Amino acid sequence: MKKEDCIFCKIAGGEIPSKTLYEDDRFRVILDLGPAARGHALILPKEHAENLYELPEETAAAVMVLAKRMAAVMRDRLNCDGLNLIQNNGEAAGQTVAHFHMHVIPRYKEDNQKIGWVPRETPPEELEALKEQITFTKTEV
């Protein structure tokens, strides 16, 4: 289902022009207009889901298959030195458009991008408490 006021729904549906790299009945892959690196692309599902929590599992799996294929194309055609897959959920995580999308970012040794985080130290007892809090079984999900 498409959301009428969603810009990514409009782009994925072809209502707003984009630099489309790939399209099928479920996805449109476009060049990002504010790229982190040369060739930075976005995978947009045509069906609206605000974030990963709302995305059907079948679509989530298909996104990863498509991302893998895009990665191979970028490696071969752009001669990139590496690649990031980034998917943000919620404002605190950096999501700026409320439509699930995955960034496929080719990386180059001299691109001067810093995509990552500052590692923190966690005491062993906190790691154990987190493990207990988060561990789940197949029947819980």
Of 40, 48, 101, 103, the catalytic one is 101
Q: How far is it, in rounded angstroms, from Cα 97 to Cα 34? A: 13
Instruction: Kindly state the tokens that stand for 2.
Output: 């498409």
Would you give the DSSP letter of residue 91? Answer: G
DSSP state, residue 42: E
Active site residue 99: no
Radius of gyration of the chain (CA): 17
- Nearest Cα to Cα of residue 8 among 61, 55, 57: 55
Question: How much of the chain is helix, strand and coil, in % rounded to 5?
Answer: 30, 20, 50
Provide the annotated active-site residues.
101
